[in-house]
């Protein structure tokens, strides 16, 4: 049986078990206005991305047309229909971060990883995305790696930050850079 790691609880469970869990989650949102986005966010956290079968299930269970669900997914950049890397690097390009050098940090990360926004490195370690304010404007410019905020980031520190995550792959956990 194909087993995969739930991105939320980090346990290895079968796809079928995860789809069953998704059923239960969707049932909790039944008949609730505005349920689509939270359900999609939860599904993406669980599976790491939103595959066609997952979107079909959400469409059926929420009783909404598939085109509506896939339209929402393609509208919001934080949803992904392709598998993402272990670490999702998001660069804030909201106003405060932009004026304090966010664009330069993005370019430095692109160069360091050899990928563009929306892409994943070949070793599936990093995916790159942009955001529009992480609510940490006072510490701008910021980037996020999964749920960790790196504040007052500098382009020259990008390699050091990413190496921290590269090292984590094979070594023990270290303090945040």
Residues that bind ligand FES (CB under 6 A): 92, 94-97, 133-134, 136-137, 140, 142
Q: Which is nearer to ligand FES, 48 or 94 (CB)?
A: 94
Give 130's strand partners. Answer: 91
Q: Which is nearer to ligand FES, 86 or 150 (CB)?
A: 150
Asked whether the beta carbons of 167 and 161 are under 8 A apart, the reply is: no
Asked whether the beta carbons of 4 and 14 are under 8 A apart, the reply is: yes
| Closest distance of CB 131 from ligand FES, Å | 7
User: Per this entry, what is the length of the chain?
Assistant: 177
| Closest distance of CB 139 from ligand FES, Å | 7
| Closest distance of CB 83 from ligand FES, Å | 27
Q: Which is nearer to ligand FES, 72 or 137 (CB)?
A: 137
Q: At what angle do helices 52-62 and 36-47 cross, to 10 degrees?
A: 150
SS3 82: coil
Q: Which is nearer to ligand FES, 85 or 94 (CB)?
A: 94
* CA–CA separation, 21 and 9 (whole Å): 12
| Closest distance of CB 154 from ligand FES, Å | 15
């Amino acid at each position: 049986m194909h087993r995969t790691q739930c991105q939320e609880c980090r346990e290895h469970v079968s796809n079928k078990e995860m789809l069953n869990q998704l059923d239960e989650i969707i049932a909790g949102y039944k008949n609730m206005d505005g349920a689509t986005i939270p359900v999609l966010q939860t599904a993406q956290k669980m599976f790491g991305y939103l595959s066609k079968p997952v979107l079909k299930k959400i469409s059926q269970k929420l009783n909404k047309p598939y085109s509506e669900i896939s339209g929402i997914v393609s509208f919001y950049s934080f949803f992904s229909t392709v598998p993402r890397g272990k670490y999702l690097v998001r660069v804030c390009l909201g106003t405060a971060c932009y004026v304090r050098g966010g664009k330069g940090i993005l370019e430095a990360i692109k160069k360091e990883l050899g990928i563009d926004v929306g892409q994943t490195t070949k070793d599936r370690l990093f995916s790159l995305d942009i955001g529009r304010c992480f609510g940490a404007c006072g510490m701008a410019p910021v980037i996020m790696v999964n749920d960790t905020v790196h504040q007052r980031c500098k382009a020259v520190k990008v390699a050091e930050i990413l190496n921290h995550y590269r090292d984590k792959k094979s070594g023990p956990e270290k303090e945040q850079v």
